[in-house]
Amino acid sequence: MDSILPQLLTGLAGASSLFLVASGLTIIFGVTRIVNFSHGSLMMLGAYIGWSILTRLPREPEWFVLGVLATVLATALIGVVLEVVVLRRVYRAPELFQLLATFGVVLVLQDVTLWLWGPVELPLPRGRWLRQFVEIGGSRFPMYDLILILVGPVVLGLLWLLMNRTRWGTLVRAATLDREMVAALGVNQRTLFTAVFALGAGLAGLGGALSLPNSSANLNIDLAIITDAFVVVVVGGLGSLTGAFVASLLIGILQAFGIVLVPKITLVLVFLVMAVVLVFRPNGLLGRPQAEAREATVAAPVIRAAPPELRALGVAALLLAIAAPFIVGEYYLTVLTDACVAILFAVSLHFMMGPGGMASFGHAAWFGIGAYAAGLLMQWIGAPMPVGLLAAPVAAGIVAALFGWFVVRLSGVYLSMLTLAFAQIVWAICFQWVDVTGGDNGLLGLVRPAWAHDARVFYWLALALSVGGALLLRRMLYAPYGYALRAARDSAARARAIGLDVQSLRIVAIVIAGAACGLSGAIFSYGKGSIFPTYITISHSVEALLMVLLGGLQTVAGPIIGALVYTGLADILVRSTDLWRLVLGAVIVLLVVAFPEGIAGAARRLWLRGREA
Amino acid sequence: MSVLVVQGLSKSFGGVQAVGDVSFAVSPGEMLALIGPNGAGKSTCFNMVGGQLNPDKGSVLLEGKAITGLSPRAISRAGVGRTFQITATFGSMTVRENVQMALLSHHREIWQFWRPVAGRHLTEADALLAQVGLEAQAERATGVLAYGDLKRLELAIALANRPRLLLMDEPTAGMAPVERVGLMKLTRRLATERGVAVLFTEHDMDVVFDVSDRILVLNRGVLIAEGDGDSIRANPAVREIYLGTGATSGGH
């Protein structure tokens, strides 16, 4: 047990870095109500900018401090630009579109960073003082880690002073509680929001720069740190600084000990802690129930049956899709098969997110569960494809039922965060349980039966399953169950007052969405012949979100259009430019700014122009 | 036989007694008004009957069966309809669909995944809409209705469940005076026709004295008077809290 003290200190050092990033995220969320996906990218930029500055300075401690401060200023400045150019334009858009916009920013910043600094990891050459050790309890401990441990509480203290002892801080706290009221009292919201964003970005930059001596500037920082920061912020309670600090300590120490004691399930452990905290304290350790932002509670438009013209268009598109194998070549047939998978993937997410009102950041989990269910059944008992295609939705549905039972009481952002956490757990299991899942190497050799071997036949199968699934889900939405689900979303109080069981309605929605998504995962796997943990990554989940939000939440046709547009766009971009992330991200941001109700929603609005909704 | 019998209902919040030992009963077709100054415990009382709050002590009987501490959903199933102080309707549906939704729930047809809602219980839905005077607006989106119409829609939704008891929390709050009288006259008529017991809270004294059969007056969580309009008007204790201190709240 000699390792307890050093391990504890390592954990505390990790907690400090985590806190720097999480505190910025939580402050920004508190005031602007934006879940800033690009916060990790700001930290990444902080690391890269820090590297560029620090490698040009002498390697003495005082220069290090100066360089870090310069980095903080630079990142804060980038934050200001981001806020003014992008976020300011989407404050009035629905929460999820803001999220989408910030994810667009993530993509843009990824390519900008790649373009400026190149793909190679950039370690910081460490000066002598950075290599010094301190003897503690008989073991040598890096001095830099001790400094890091101090930085956390110092920053917390400074932030506390800023928030509680200055007029500006009072305004920020007031805006966190009720921003409309603060605006009504004549406070300039614009400058306040910009300043808050700059502060948050600066903190992320500080975290990035301070992480350099222990790691490096690399392109994976953004998504890796944003997951951890989300966990910390959610566990601590959204908008609570002290909560973020406590949660950072908890998670940091857990990670440090987890790596030693249970290396294989550290990731799972972290997310389990988050799940447990949220079950007992649905608003996080120190969070308070969120006040609804008033302007966001605009009623969703009435869903009416599609106009005949649109139906005709749909039928025409379907006929064209059926005839496609005779028209297009092999390559496009693959793209079209992928599009079929994407349609079911997006439609299933839309089911729980639109009518169900439960946004999922981890929809890829069901996709992966379906895929692995089919793959493992084949590996264990040689189950053929039809069995696999049947087992996938069943397996995903069962897991979704357990998960749904667990999360259904949570509200809004917290539920979304738990979906993200759950997807990360599934990913970790598939990635780390090598004996069963093959880990990174995946499951290979998923064979199609002879009759479906031909790419065209398989395309038709995929088309039939995906369109059939989509139509089935649509049918449910127009049936009493779908209406009841929508009723529970529109007004839970009214729904209960007419005798609806809101929680059961929601759990079933999660199950149906999970099962349909599981099927799409299995189709995809049989199409590719192999299964990898990458099916369950955050970026895959975000793809589903992108499709749904691009198409628009408020129409049933929306996710289908979104899936097609996204698949087409991604295909064209990937083949035509190396900077496809940059272009895709920019397109997303532009779309959100231009069509906050999605493509289908905007088309519907134009269609209905001059008539009453 | 009373529809609703409330006995010895009590509730405290952190040591402050909001409602203490309140008992009353409502008969079929009777409109019972619950009045009192702000903070008298009207809403607390109301929410304990409706299931939003769990009482510390006491019992609530609906047609002889205890519904004390049940969930709002179970209480609705037992035959209680309600309208909210701030209207709660299904914004993404048309006016008719709102009522259809309530009817589907009443007929236990929610867990059906195939047959579309369109066209189901149309006659019943339109009859309910006609009763509250919304038949001409059946196709409109709920979100575009005027506030008074929303209140009437809520009433239609509440009635779809064929309730024995109707709970109305500040039914006329936020309405123009003319609309108030209209809505309460409508409620009065429906209560008499259908034999529904109505328990409502209200700030507008004109409305209260106009339509209610009986009035309960709460002050600081305690029932201080009970009787018809005339006896309440003449009651010195009531005059004391409403007139004596000048602390009236919203009376016109």
The residue ranges of every structural domain in chain B are 30-52+73-244
Query: How does pLDDT run across B101-122, given as a tens digit for each residue?
Result: 999 999 999 999 999 999 999 9
Q: Do B92 and A478 touch (CB under 8 A)?
A: no
Strand partners, B166: B81, B198
Bridge partner list, B83: B168
Q: What single letter denotes the amino acid at residue B5?
A: V
Q: How far is CA A151 from CA A20, A57, A211, B31, in A?
A: 9, 22, 12, 66
DSSP string of A107-152, one letter each residue: HHHHHHHHHHH-SS-EEPPPPGGGG-EEEETTEEEEHHHHHHHHHH
Distance in angstroms (rounded) separating the CA atoms of residues A114 and A110: 6
DSSP helix/strand/coil, A310: helix
Q: CB-based contact (8 Å) between B228 and chain A? A: no
Contact A300, B92 (CB under 8 A): yes
| Closest residue in A to B117 (Cα–Cα) | A479
Contact A497 B158 (CB under 8 A): yes
State pLDDT tens for residues A125-165: 887 888 888 887 777 888 898 899 999 999 999 999 999 99
Tokens of A509: 């929605």
Asked if residue A359 lies in contact with residue A510, where contact means CB atoms within 8 angstroms, the answer is no
The CB density around residue A406, as the number of other CB atoms within 10 Å, is 16
Distance CA B239, CA B245 (A): 9
Separation CA A483–CA B101 (nearest Å)? 7
CA of B161, closest CA in chain A: separation in Å? 7
Residue A31 near residue A192, CB atoms below 8 Å? yes
pLDDT of residue A610: 59
pLDDT at A537 over 90: no
Residue A481 and residue A502 in contact, taking contact as beta carbons nearer than 8 Å: no
Distance CA A245, CA A232 (A): 8
- Please name the residue of chain B whose CA is at the shortest distance from the CA of residue A508: B111
Option in B94, B100, B114 nearest A302 (CB):
B94
C-alpha A421, offset from chain centre: 10
Average pLDDT value for residue range B67-86? 90
Mean pLDDT calculated for residue range B216-233: 90
Test B73 with A480 for CB contact under 8 angstroms: no
For residue A87, the model assigns a pLDDT of 87
Contact between B105 and A484 using a beta-carbon 8 Å cutoff: yes
**B72 to A496: CB separation less than 8 angstroms, yes or no:** yes
Tell me the average pLDDT of chain B.
89
Low-confidence winner among B14-18, B137-141, B223-227 (lowest mean pLDDT): B14-18
Nearest Cα to Cα of residue A228 among A204, A195, A209, A200: A204
pLDDT at A296 over 50: no
Distance, CA of B83 to CA of B85 (rounded, Å) = 7
| Chain A interface residues (partner B, CB cutoff 8 A) | 299-303, 305, 475-476, 478-484, 486-487, 489-491, 493-502, 505, 554, 612-613
Query: What is the pTM (predicted TM-score) of this model?
Result: 0.87
Look at residue B11 and give its three-state secondary structure. Answer: strand
Counting Cα atoms < 13 Å in the Cβ hemisphere of B133 gives: 13
A127: buried, middle or exposed (CB in 10 Å: 19+, 13-18, 0-12)?
middle
Best CATH choice for the domain B30-52+73-244 from the list 3.30.9.10, 3.50.50.60, 3.40.50.300, 1.10.10.10: 3.40.50.300
All residues of chain A having their beta carbon less than 8 Å from the beta carbon of residue B88 are 491, 493-494, 497
